[in-house]
Structure 1
Amino acid sequence: MADPSHRHAKINGLDVHYAEAGQGPLVVLLHGFPHLWFSWRHQIGPIAAAGFRVVAPDMRGMGETSGPDDPREYGVDRIVGDLTGLLDHLGEEKAVFSGLDFGLFAAYDLAYHHPERAAAIIGLENPFITPSDEPPLALAARQARRHFNHIHYFAEPGVADRDLAAAPGEFLRKLFYALSGDYHYLDVWRHPPGTSYLDALPETPPLPWSWLTEAELDVYVDAYSRSGFTGGLNWYRAMDLSWEYRKSYAGRKNPVPFYFIGSERDADLEGWHGADPLDRLADHHADVRGVRMIEHAGHMMQMEKPAETTAAMLRFLAEVRESEWA
């Protein structure tokens, strides 16, 4: 499969970059922070070869997609507008959305606001929007009084922006390793309050790793060296605003057909979705169609175990094509 084409468009007030390959029913791949469209590099070609049109955008404020400096411009309404605007730009009524982290939460929000525009969701690692009676930034601040908390560290404008911009290569290398199945990410909580993220993250073995080369890491380092980290950090700074928006559908189930792919060493499944989150999928999704767990992988599963992750996605996509696009 040839490399994807790279396109730029004006969508929802943003200068948006996306990678595109293939023809057929649309599949949109949504990344989190600190990622890029490039995080789906192992999936784009095989999914396109299976007869789908694949689009992987750089999300708002990251990579080559512009983003406002104001965190208020990263709330649910803005992000959902980005996704519907992307569909309109592509001339498509609906798509299968697959995502990780903030990208997956964006797909969940779209499903609640515009279920007719999502043929299905294939969720990676984050099984649902965890309900909370407390605003997430307040919760992070309370936790940060006991130990290091990355959300609280990201929340104060200027601090993380400055620290990460001064050492983008070190930060990205350490974070990618810490989130992988080769490290137990929650060990960063062992550090005391006031620790910088760079100091809380572990030292790493030299590159290349089994799943990441130095050239691949350089793609991220070059992109964030150009853009800075503020756009990505603003997704965290808007978490309380998004929490307020989501009150309108708190307690409702996602109405869109849902598939889940997780990994046995994922930090999010361990630390952010309560006890036994897979047993509670039906509490949050009205139509759970399939679940697949990937062994010996952490949060970076689509890079750590690309063959296994892609195979699971293709199996689920085949089911969606038969049921939703037949």
Structure 2
Amino acid sequence: MAEWRHHWADINGLTMHYVEQGQGPLVVLAHGFPHSWFSWRHQIAAIAAAGYRVVAFDLRGMGQTSAPVEEEAYDVQHTMGDLVGLLDHLGEERAVFAGLDFGLFAIYDMAYHWPQRMRAIIGLGNPAWPHDPDCSPLTAARDLGQRHFYHIDYFTRQPGVAEAALDAEPRAFLKRVFYALSGDYHYVDVWKHPPGTSYLDALPEAPPLPWPWLSDLELEFFVSDYARSGFLGGLNWYRAMDLRWAYRRQFENIPNPVPFYFLTSENDTDMEAFHGDDPLAKLPSQYADLRRVEILPKAGHMLQMERAAEVSARMVEFLADIGRSEG
């Protein structure tokens, strides 16, 4: 922690916050929702110690980065533009990009436009865009939300409602959703609640902290940031899903050209519920250069925190393999 360097920079029309440690080839870490750069706290130190320059940044709308209020500010051009702008700001031509959830989806977008600026991708938990060519994600969310509680429908159906509820109780929401997304709970059980249920009421009560992978103080890092920024920016990533879906249609059935490493867990709800049947079997057709696929046991969607040491070790292994492949 003593070697973390915090920066705030004007990038792609935002004031972007990022944390940096180490020297060597650049590795950029991109989080998801409702996370921040701090989700990568264990990996930052481990990867830097292995001889890399590590940068973990707050995505637009989250953490200490600016939060545009317009949904259109979260489309593909803006979100992948943040990655390219960060790379330019850091004075680097290329990097390995690693991500989870929304941060990883932006990395996938970048791969179709600037593959020459990416040495490789390390994906956690989300093997590809969750893309149905026949139905937009918000249309699907509306349908599911009429049958049972569905978080995407709750976040997007009535703008203003979800962010007001979450802003009022950031600690309760973050504690419950972190637990629900972990391998200690079956997240899809929140769908058992009827339509109209609030997210806080749909989420399970979480056991008292500390947990094996999260302390009270560590949770406070997330609570502090979201209590300051509010949740509007994070929810706008959901509200722009149809914009990004429409843009990505041009890349259907075109394999991602960047070397790809994938790390997931046996209890990841995204693998179970958001990527169709047998998502691992689809990987060879989705990536032109699929390098390695690994599954860690007894963890969920909070993988890099739940199994911090194992994730860090695998990522360092992947980085070494990338270096060997480049000669």
Q: Which band: TM-score by shorter chain?
A: over 0.9
Please give the alpha-carbon distance, in whole angstroms, between the structure 2 residues aligned to 1:243 and 1:52. 34
Secondary structure (helix, strand or coil) at the match of 2:147 reads coil
Distance apart, 1:275 and its partner CA: 1.1
Distance, in Å, in 2 between the alignment partners of 1:139 and 1:147 is 12
Unaligned runs of 5+ in 2: none
Q: Distance in 1 between matches of 2:252 and 2:93?
A: 26
8 A Cα contact 2:193 2:202, kept in partner: yes
Please tell me whether the aligned partners of residues 127 and 260 of structure 1 are also in contact (alpha carbons under 8 angstroms). Answer: yes
Does residue 1:247 correspond to 2:249, yes or no? yes
Rounded to whole Å, the distance in 2 between the matches of 1:94 and 1:323 is: 15
* 1:120 alignment counterpart: 120
2:299 maps to 297
Mapped partners of 1:21, 1:207: distance in 2: 29
Q: Which of 272, 277, 280 pairs up with 2:279?
A: 277
TM-score (norm 1): 0.98
Q: How does 1:158-237 map to 2 (within 5 A)?
A: 158-237=160-239
Q: Tell me, in whole angstroms, the C-alpha distance in 2 between the residues paired with 1:190 and 1:121.
A: 35
SS at match of 1:145: helix
> Percent identity between the aligned chains?
62
Q: Is the 8 A contact 2:303 2:311 kept in 1?
A: yes
* CA shift for structure 1 position 230: 0.3
Task: Tell me how large the CA RMSD over aligned residues is.
Answer: 0.9
Q: Distance in 1 between matches of 2:257 and 2:172?
A: 41
1:5 aligned residue? 5
Q: What is the distance in 1 between the residues matched to 2:202 and 2:42?
A: 30
Map 1:133-152; keep pairs closer than 5 Å: 133-152=134-153
SS in 2 for 1:86: helix
Shift of 1:323: 1.9
Q: Quote the offset at 1:248 in angstroms.
A: 1.6
Note if contact 2:257-2:287 (Cα within 8 Å) is conserved in structure 1: yes
Alignment partners' CA distance in 2, 1:152 and 1:116 = 37
Match of 1:39 in 2: 39
Contact in 1 for aligned 2:131/2:245 (Cα 8 Å): no
Match of 1:103 in 2: 103
124-133 or 37-46: bigger deviation:
124-133
Deviation (angstroms), 1:51: 0.6
SS in 2 for 1:28: strand
Deviations, residues 75-124 of structure 1 (Å, cap 9, x unaligned): 00001111100000000111100000001101100001111111100000
* Counterpart residue type for residue 70 of structure 2: D
Contact 1:2 1:45 in 2 (8 A): no
Note if contact 1:267-1:299 (Cα within 8 Å) is conserved in structure 2.
yes
Structure 1 spans left out of the alignment, 5+ residues: none
* One-letter amino acid of the counterpart of residue 59, structure 2: M
CA-CA distance at 1:130 after TM superposition: 2.8
Task: Kindly provide the amino acid, as one letter, of the partner of residue 239 in structure 1.
Answer: M
Does the 8 Å CA contact 2:183/2:301 hold for their aligned counterparts?
Answer: yes
Q: CA deviation at 1:291?
A: 0.9
In 2, the alpha carbon distance for the partners of 1:208 and 1:49 equals 27
